[in-house]
Amino acid sequence: MPDWGAHLSEMRQRAPLVHNITNYVAMNVMANVLLAAGASPAMVHAVEEAAEFTPLAGALTINIGTPSGPWVAAMEASAQAAQAAGLPWVLDPVAVGATAFRREIGARLLALGPAAIRGNASEILALSGAAAQGKGADSADPVAAAEEAARALACSTGAVVAVTGPVDYVTDGARGWRVANGHPAMPRVTALGCSLTGLVGAFLAGAEDRATATVAALAYFGLAGERAGETAAGPGSFQVALLDALATITPDALTAGARVQAA
């Protein structure tokens, strides 16, 4: 198995600027998660400047949680700018199967070559064109039900696909991993999944192996959740403890604590 902690060490050494076009709900939480991890967040979504800003960053993340026409235009322009600059960008297809508008956005963004896609099982199924049972941004499908769709999506797009849930599944089409790190309190705090997408972007910035970098990001976030759960009394203190854990987990601790298996 790779040295998962090496990815964390390299990310912190790079301290990448991550350009995030994310939703209203997630901005503050996501920015704090990236700062705690050792990256530098930028929330730039205005269509008048987003694409110009993108090449200044080490990675781009796009989240369709609260879409509107101008935001979608900024997303597409920034994804094109990332492609032109050779920068990795991550797609978070929030509730992509819920409405025709979201399905159209998902298809248009997918055509712009994301380096990675992170979503729950229902989102990955819907993005791949398969039937899904999502409830808004929440998954009603188990991770295992989306593994085949994830592999097909990875093969057809060239992206690393991460299906997140109680046990995450990551694939680049040829290789696969399951990541068992995490805590039951994590779904009870809003925007943690969106924040994880930002972390994936931070780990991808400058990474040679984007698949193992994605796995390391998921294991790191899940391990932080486990540590937070040891002291938290509820969702409020859990969020604070999670930020502290992200800041204090060392590369060696990640390598020792990552519960990753080849799939």
Helix (H, G, I), strand (E, B) or coil at 26: coil
Q: What angle do CA 93, 123, 172 make, to 5 degrees?
A: 80
Residue 43 annotated as lining a ligand binding site: yes
Which pair of structure tokens corresponds to residue 216? Answer: 């390391």
Question: Any residues with CB less than 8 A from the CB of 224 and at least 6 apart, and which?
Answer: 242, 245, 246, 249
Residue 118 annotated as lining a ligand binding site: yes
d(C-alpha 80, C-alpha 75), whole Å: 9
Write out the H or E segment, with its range, that includes residue 171.
strand 168-171
Phi, psi of 17 (to 5 degrees): -80, 125
DSSP 62: E
CA distances (Å), 261 to each of 119, 126, 129, 181, 199, in order?
20, 26, 28, 11, 21
The binding site for ATP consists of 118, 164
The binding site consists of 43, 118, 164, 191
The binding site for substrate consists of 43, 191
